[in-house]
Amino acid sequence: MNNRHLRQRGTAVVIRDSKVLLVRDRGRRRFSLPGGGIKENEPAASAAGRELFEELGLSPTKITRLRDCDFKGYASLHKVCLVEARGQPRLIGHELDKFIWWDMKEDVSIFTHVKGILGKMGLM
């Protein structure tokens, strides 16, 4: 599949106290990294920050684009950003039903992209 047919997604990696923030979409069993679709002409970093604010109420203070950690999944091309953000996450809207701070050791059901991205970052 050609990359232009994949959904372009700004994917945020938020780490606090050696734990990574994961979210679960309503109706799903597995957790993913936060983020969402990139709008036309929107930079990946802007999409990742926007989605963190819209879905979890976090205010990004620093966003670093990690091109070497981009991950081509089945339906999405994850454009990865390391994000530092103020505030405590809270569920906003109806898209997500849960978030967790994952220590990367606990047995949690995750999507393939989570392991792939965190592996490229040297965290797994």
State the residue range of the domain holding 18.
3-120
Say how many C-beta atoms besides its own lie within 10 A of residue 63's C-beta.
20
Is residue 73 exposed (0-12), middle (13-18) or buried (19+ Cβ within 10 Å)?
Answer: middle
CATH code of 14's domain: 3.90.79.10
What is the tens place of the pLDDT at every residue in 42-94? Answer: 999 999 999 999 999 999 999 999 999 999 988 899 999 999 999 999 999 88
Whether the CB-CB separation of 22 and 96 falls below 8 Å is answered with: no
Number of domain units in the chain: 1
- Predicted TM-score of the model (pTM): 0.92
What is the tens place of the pLDDT at every residue in 33-53? Answer: 999 999 999 999 999 999 999
